[in-house]
Amino acid sequence: MRASSGRPRKACSICKAQKIRCSGERPSCKRCIRLRRTCSYEGTLSTIPRGSLQRKPANSSLTPVTGPERGHAVSNATLQAERHIVPAPSILLDYPQEDLDLGIPKHLVSTLAEAYFDNMYNAGFFLPRRIFLQSLAAGTARHHVVLSVCAWGANFYRDINGQATFKENGSMIKWAKNAGRLVFQEAEDLHEENIVTFSNLALFWHSQGSWRISQLHKGNAYQLLNIIGLGSRVPSNESSLESEIRRRRFWACYLMHCYSSERLTLFEPIANMENLPLPWTEEDFEAGISRYPSVSLNSGQSNGGIFGELIKGLTFWSSVVSSIKSDSIFNAKLTDIHILDEKISDWWRKVQPALKLNSSNIAAVPHDALPRILLANLVYHQSLCALHASIVPLFCWSPGDDSWSTARQLSAQLAFDHACRVSELIDGVLSTYSRLSAMPSFVAYAAYCGCAIQIPFMWCLNLKIRERAHANIKANVRMIHTMAHYWKFAALLQVHVRCLYNIHHRGPTILEGEPKHLDPSKLTNFRFNAAYARTSILEFTGILRSKGDGYVIPGEETNDLGLEEGSDIPLPPPLEQREPQQTSQEQLQQETPSILPQLKFLTGEGPTLDVFNSFLDPEMLNLFPNGEIPDLAGFDTNLLSLDYLEMEGWDDALEAIQS
């Protein structure tokens, strides 16, 4: 029988099943493209190469799941693979795109995409690497997604001469702006891939110091996720690759809110976060099949995947910052601190040993996995470090308070120990890992907080502790400096750490040893009240936002960390101007006469930096070539000297600002 007039001779299986007119185009009909369905015709497989999407896992080196659940999980996944019934993910080869000149050299598109995946620790949350590269080759990836990926890749790309070519010639910014323009044109289409572009642009503009534009795109990603949700469109089989990709995009938005310590209850209308499956392991995600039963925040179990542990850790980090910012009375705050400490410690005890770093095993970690594993370790240490430092005035720059001195001293020791562990890990990474461009910006923040806690010990009477403080701060500053080439926030931290050092330099608290051996008053009777300093030390990006004023305008970042000219808190004279009867200083001179000549920051040589001047104005970054402070490699980095902080250009920059 002939087909009825106007109807194509063969409709796709979806239109045919629903008895709806089909346009009949191959590989995808117009209706399936519009509804983002997987289009197929009788006698053929889906247009997506099934073998390229998933395969039967052959990696027997992975630790198997024990018990009866294992057999059920593996047999179902294998059966799905053999029958080719796994739904196609939403961003694959089923979106034919019109020809459009994106302004990117075609031979470099895949190179920039590879740079994106190599350097963005969370790229796998947004896009399956192998599948996205296939869609690039087929020309079916959405244009705004390609532009956002290439803009990000250009931030890390270096040519054969080591130059950031596309960053310096402005192409990178142009591509990011074009991506934003295109994705806003499609905003009302509510495509899931718009979440990818909005999220990419949020992170990209944050890296460039455009804090407000970054938040605009981040908010759009969240709102779109809130609108389309994870509900009826998610297949009932939660082990499908399509479901996993959607969940990963949810978790990516969730983590961005964890970093900025925003209310996580915002996500409750979208999904039951406590019971939502955590991401698969990377091995399973690459294979397209989950071999293990799902785990969640509530399950108390782990599948061994690093992304799942990061979600747990950053959820705790968000709770830590909420606790720090609470206005509870001190005894209630202290109780909250110890409850959180126990929860965080219990989580870390259950993390697989292979994901726990120390100075001896860093070199053995695969390079592509190190940034993610390091981040998980730093989130653990930084959570406990900030939590306990928040009640120690010397560490967090809060007003002096000698109440509960014993509890504060205990917390001071814990914060100090974790700050030292952070520095040891950073030093290990600096000595073994060459691709520091892949470090997440949280690494620079952890290094900065470690500096804030350890700088007071640079004048410690105990030689061993003093030397360790110098070595640790040197490693932290090197990491911050290196990351400043890729993250403008790290460049701002460079300026802030210099300010912290100079204020301590002018009025150091002479310490005899570790916090547990000190007179508690030396930890609690801190003489400076710097509100912005406390925020910068304890809240990651909290310093970029103030109550009532929203996110800071680029170029108007705080330039004094809360210490304003005319403050009623007197600034003590520099150490070299103190009266000779100060016995602690005399003891320091007597015990280390051979070291003092090396400590040039204890002498009257050179100008004393006035921290009340516009030292921290972000415009000072523009006084250096390409907005970057000179390389540290050419400076003396003796462990007992801070000459490497006295970098050429600092004083000239200050004089230029003052004039």
pLDDT of residue 589: 40
Higher-pLDDT residue of 30, 489:
489
Chain centroid offset of residue 551 CA: 18
Higher-pLDDT residue of 551, 95:
551
Residue 235 sits at the vertex; the CA angle it makes with 186 and 91, to the nearest 5 degrees, is: 35
Find out whether 175 and 128 touch, Cβ atoms under 8 Å.
no
Find out whether 93 and 280 touch, Cβ atoms under 8 Å.
no
Note the pLDDT tens digit of each residue in 637-655.
333 344 444 443 334 433 3
Higher-pLDDT residue of 349, 15:
349
- Which of 537, 496, 555, 617 is closest to 210 using CA atoms? 555
Find out whether 542 and 535 touch, Cβ atoms under 8 Å.
yes
Mean pLDDT, range 566-588, rounded to an integer: 42
Find out whether 465 and 416 touch, Cβ atoms under 8 Å.
no
pLDDT of residue 95: 53
Average pLDDT, the chain: 77
Note the pLDDT tens digit of each residue in 187-240.
898 888 999 999 999 999 999 999 999 999 999 999 999 998 885 444 445 678
Q: At what angle do helices 370-389 and 441-454 cross, to 10 degrees?
A: 40
Among 52-61, 135-144, 338-347, 427-436, which is the least confidently predicted range? 52-61
Answer whether residue 368 shows pLDDT above 50.
Answer: yes
Q: What tokens does 14 get?
A: 């979806």
Sign of dihedral through CA atoms 46, 289, 281, 238? Answer: positive
Residue with tokens 């071999």: 291
pLDDT of residue 561: 81
- For the chain, residues classed under CATH 4.10.240.10 are 1-47
Q: Which CATH class is domain 1-47?
A: few secondary structures
Q: Which helix (H) or strand (E) holds 453?
A: helix 441-454
pLDDT band at 592 (very low <50, low <70, confident <90, very high): very low
Answer whether residue 473 shows pLDDT above 70.
Answer: yes
pLDDT band at 61 (very low <50, low <70, confident <90, very high): very low
Q: Break the chain down into helix, strand, coil percent, rounded to 5.
A: 55, 0, 40
pLDDT band at 173 (very low <50, low <70, confident <90, very high): very high
Question: Residue 136, Cβ neighbours under 10 Å: how many?
Answer: 17
CA distances from 251 to 310, 367, 424, 439, 462 (A): 10, 24, 30, 20, 46
Among 497-511, 528-542, 596-610, which is the least confidently predicted range? 596-610
Note the pLDDT tens digit of each residue in 617-631.
343 344 344 444 444
Dihedral of the CA atoms 34, 35, 38, 39 (nearest 10)? -50
Note the pLDDT tens digit of each residue in 16-59.
766 677 877 776 777 776 665 666 665 433 333 333 333 333 33
> How many residues are present in the chain?
659
Answer whether residue 452 shows pLDDT above 50.
Answer: yes
Note the pLDDT tens digit of each residue in 510-545.
999 999 999 999 999 877 767 789 999 999 988 898
Mean pLDDT, range 53-68, rounded to an integer: 34
Whole-prediction pTM value? Answer: 0.76
Note the pLDDT tens digit of each residue in 96-119.
555 567 889 888 999 999 999 999
Say how many CA atoms lie within 13 Å of 477 toward its Cβ: 32
Cα radius of gyration (the chain): 27
CA dist 578 and 582 (Å) reads 7
Q: What tokens does 485 get?
A: 């080439």
Q: What tokens does 504 get?
A: 């301590």
Among 397-401, 408-412, 622-626, which is the least confidently predicted range? 622-626
CA dist 314 and 316 (Å) reads 5
